[in-house]
C-alpha cells in the first residue's frame, strides 16, 4: 500500500493476487438480510400502509400526502420541466436501445424434423408480468428505466410496471417519467428498496404482484431479492456498480483516470479498479485522479475517492499483461473497458465480463446510456455464469413435439428400453404393445 489516498496494489513481483481483491460490498449480505426481513414482513402484512410508512422513514418523504402510483398529471408535469436537449438525449438512447433489442428478439416459434416423422421445436412467449426496478438513492436514472423497460416492451410483456423510490417531495424523477411514457409504460409506482421488492412479490392494494423483477439496486435490494427468490424471479443479479479499466502501456493515464472515475462515482458501495501491467500508467493515473476530482462536483468526487481509496477499488499493477487479463477474468466485472493497442484482439482473451467496451472512444459512459446493448449487467462475479439483461429475460420458451404414426414404432422401442433400464414400469407400458394405437391406413 502507498501513502496516497488512492489504494495501490503493487503485484509486479508476484505471480498471483490476493483473493480478497475479488470481494465486493455485496459479497457478504448477512447484515442486509437481517435488516430487510422485518421490512418484507411488514409490506406483506400491511400493503400500501407499509409503503407509505417506509417512504417517510427510509426515503425521507416529507410531503403530507403521496400517491403510490404516479398520476397522469405528474407525467404531464415531467414533460414540462425536462429541457429540450435532455429530451433529445433520452429519445436518441431509446432509439438505439430499441433497435438493439429488436434485433435480439427470438422468433415466435421454430421447429425441426429430428428424425423422419418426429418434429420438435420451441415457442417463445413473453412473461405475464415483470417489474422494472429503477434506483434513485444517489441520483436519478432514466437510463435504467430505458435499459429495463425497452426489452420488456419489445418482448411484449402484457403487464410491465416500474417501481422507483420517491424523492422528498413524494414525486418520481421527471426524467424517469418522461422515458416511461416515451417507451409506453403507464404504471410507475413510488416505492424503493426492499419494500419495493416485497410489494411486487406479494402485491399491495395499489402495486400489482409480478412474476419477476429486473434492474440494479443497493445491497438492500439484492438481499430482498435473495430472500424472496421463491416468490418471484429475481432476474439478473445486479447490485452496486463495478468496473475494471484494463490497460497496457499505450494508454494516456489522463484518459484512463477519467474512465476509472465513471463507475466509482455511483456511490461508496461501488467497486472500480485500474488493472495494468504498466507502472507508468499506474503512477500517471494516480496523479491524474487528483486533478479530475478537483474539477468535479463535491459529492460525486467524494464517492469516487471513497471507492478508490477503500476496500473495493484502486490501482492494481501486475507483472505482465497476461497477469492483468487473468485477474480480470477471475474478477468477472460488470463493466470492462479495454484500453490497449489492439482491444479487438484482446477481447478474445476475456471470458468473464458483463460487457466489454473496446478502445479509447468507447468509455463506460456511452455503454451506460446510448450504445444499445443493455447496461443492466451481472455483478459480484455473476458474469461467470450470467448474461446482460436482454429481451430473453422477459420471455420464456415452451418446447413442443409431435410424432407421426409412421415414426412412432421406432421411437417407442428406444424409449421403452430407456424406461426398462431405469426401472419405470409405467413409462415402459405407455410405449409398449399395451398402447392402443390406431391403425395406420396404407398409402
Question: What is the pLDDT, as a whole number, of residue 136?
Answer: 84
Mean pLDDT of 325-350: 98
The span from the CA of 258 to the CA of 293, in Å, is: 9
| Average pLDDT for 226-233 | 96
Q: Which three cell numbers stand for residue 357?
A: 467496451
Is the distance from CB of 335 to CB of 357 less than 8 angstroms? yes
Residue whose C-alpha cell is 438492500: 220
pLDDT at 5 over 90: no
The confidence band for 3, taking pLDDT boundaries of 50, 70 and 90, is very low
CA angle 16, 18, 23 (to 5 degrees): 130
Q: What proportion of the chain, given as a percentage, has pLDDT over 90? A: 91
Q: Cα-flanking dihedrals φ and ψ of residue 126, to 5°?
A: -70, 145
The catalytic position among 265, 335, 355, 416 is 335
Gyration radius (Cα) of the chain, Å: 26
Using pLDDT thresholds of 50, 70 and 90, give the confidence band for residue 441. Answer: low
The dihedral sign for the CA sequence 174, 157, 368, 200: positive
Looking at the DSSP bridge assignments, the partners of residue 242 are 271
> pLDDT-derived band of residue 440, with 50, 70 and 90 as boundaries?
low
Judge whether residue 27 has pLDDT over 80: no
Please tell me the distance from the alpha carbon of residue 148 to that of residue 159, in angstroms, as a whole number: 14
- Closest by CA to 354, choosing from 324, 380, 372, is 380
Concerning whether 422 is annotated as a catalytic residue, the answer is: no
**Which one of 26, 242, 265, 334 is the catalytic residue?**
334
- Among 60, 53, 260, CA closest to 171: 60
Q: How confident is the model at residue 338 (pLDDT cuts 50, 70, 90)?
A: very high
Query: Which residues does 43 contact at the CB level (< 8 Å), separation at least 6?
Result: 50, 51, 54, 195, 198, 199, 202, 204
Reduce the DSSP state of residue 336 to 3 states and report it: strand
How many whole angstroms separate alpha carbon 5 and alpha carbon 165?
33
- The stretch 124-146 carries a mean pLDDT of 90
Burial 75-111 (b: 16+ CB within 10 A, else e): beebeeebeeeeeebbeebbebbbebbeebbeeeeee
Give the span between the Cα atoms of 333 and 379, in whole angstroms.
Answer: 7
| Element (DSSP H or E) covering residue 326 | helix 321-331
What mean pLDDT is predicted for residues 406-424? 97
Confidence tier at 442 by pLDDT (50, 70, 90): low
Taking residues 295-321, report their average pLDDT: 96
pLDDT-derived band of residue 138, with 50, 70 and 90 as boundaries? low
Q: What is the torsional sign of CA 313, 165, 177, 396?
A: positive
Q: Cell digits for 15? A: 505471480
Distances (CA, A) of 421 to 408, 416, 431: 20, 8, 14
Q: Which residues, in sequence order, are bridge partners of residue 126?
A: 395
Query: Is residue 392 annotated as a catalytic residue, yes or no?
Result: no
2: pLDDT strictly greater than 50: no
DSSP letter for each residue of 65-133: ---SBPPHHHHHHHHHHS-HHHHHHHHHHHHHHHHHHHHHPPPSEEEEEEETTEEEEEEEEE-SEEEEE
Report the sign of the C-alpha dihedral through residues 359, 362, 367, 372, in that order: negative
C-alpha distances out from residue 94 to 89, 119, 339, 372, Å: 9, 39, 27, 8
Percent of the chain with pLDDT over 70: 98
What's the pTM value of the predicted model, to 2 decimals?
Answer: 0.91
Amino acid at each position: 500500500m502507498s501513502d496516497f489516498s488512492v489504494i495501490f496494489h503493487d503485484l509486479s513481483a508476484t505471480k498471483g493476487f490476493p483473493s480478497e481483491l475479488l470481494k465486493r460490498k455485496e459479497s457478504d449480505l448477512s447484515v442486509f438480510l437481517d435488516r430487510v426481513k422485518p421490512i418484507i414482513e411488514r409490506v406483506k402484512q400491511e400493503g400500501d400502509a407499509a409503503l407509505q410508512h417506509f417512504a417517510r422513514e427510509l426515503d425521507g418523504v416529507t410531503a403530507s400526502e403521496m400517491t403510490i402510483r404516479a398520476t397522469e398529471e405528474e407525467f404531464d408535469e415531467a414533460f414540462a420541466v425536462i429541457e429540450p436537449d435532455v429530451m433529445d438525449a433520452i429519445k436518441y438512447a431509446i432509439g438505439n436501445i430499441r433497435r438493439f433489442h429488436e434485433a435480439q428478439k427470438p422468433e415466435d416459434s421454430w421447429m425441426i424434423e429430428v428424425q423422419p416423422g418426429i418434429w420438435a421445436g420451441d415457442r417463445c412467449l413473453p412473461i405475464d408480468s415483470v417489474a422494472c426496478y429503477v434506483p434513485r438513492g444517489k441520483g436519478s436514472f432514466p437510463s435504467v428505466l430505458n435499459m429495463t423497460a425497452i426489452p420488456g416492451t419489445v418482448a411484449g410483456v402484457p403487464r410491465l410496471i416500474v417501481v422507483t423510490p420517491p424523492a422528498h417531495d413524494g414525486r418520481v424523477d421527471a426524467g424517469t417519467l418522461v422515458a416511461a411514457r416515451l417507451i409506453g409504460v403507464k404504471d410507475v409506482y413510488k416505492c424503493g428498496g426492499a419494500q419495493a421488492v416485497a410489494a411486487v412479490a406479494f402485491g399491495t392494494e395499489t402495486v400489482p404482484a409480478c412474476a419477476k423483477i429486473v434492474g440494479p439496486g443497493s445491497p438492500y435490494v439484492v438481499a430482498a431479492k435473495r430472500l424472496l427468490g421463491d416468490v418471484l424471479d429475481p432476474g439478473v443479479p445486479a447490485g452496486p456498480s463495478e468496473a475494471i479499466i484494463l490497460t497496457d502501456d499505450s494508454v494516456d493515464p489522463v484518459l484512463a483516470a477519467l474512465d476509472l472515475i465513471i463507475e466509482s462515482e455511483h456511490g461508496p458501495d461501488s467497486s472500480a479498479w485500474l488493472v495494468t501491467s504498466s507502472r507508468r500508467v499506474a503512477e500517471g493515473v494516480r496523479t491524474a485522479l487528483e486533478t479530475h476530482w478537483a474539477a468535479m462536483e463535491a459529492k460525486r468526487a467524494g464517492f469516487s475517492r471513497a471507492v478508490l481509496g477503500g476496500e473495493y477499488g484502486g490501482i492494481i499493477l501486475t507483472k505482465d499483461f497476461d497477469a492483468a487479463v487473468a485477474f480480470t477474468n477471475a474478477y468477472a466485472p460488470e463493466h470492462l473497458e479495454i484500453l490497449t493497442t489492439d482491444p479487438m484482439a484482446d477481447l478474445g482473451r476475456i471470458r468473464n465480463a458483463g460487457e466489454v467496451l473496446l478502445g479509447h472512444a468507447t468509455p463506460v459512459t456511452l455503454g451506460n446510456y446510448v450504445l444499445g446493448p443493455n447496461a443492466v449487467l451481472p455483478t459480484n462475479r455473476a458474469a461467470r455464469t450470467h448474461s446482460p439483461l436482454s429481451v430473453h429475460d422477459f420471455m420464456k420458451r415452451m418446447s413442443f413435439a409431435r410424432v407421426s404414426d409412421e415414426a412412432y414404432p421406432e421411437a417407442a422401442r428406444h424409449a421403452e428400453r430407456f424406461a426398462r433400464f431405469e426401472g419405470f414400469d409405467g413409462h415402459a407400458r405407455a410405449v409398449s404393445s399395451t398402447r392402443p394405437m390406431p391403425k395406420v391406413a396404407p398409402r
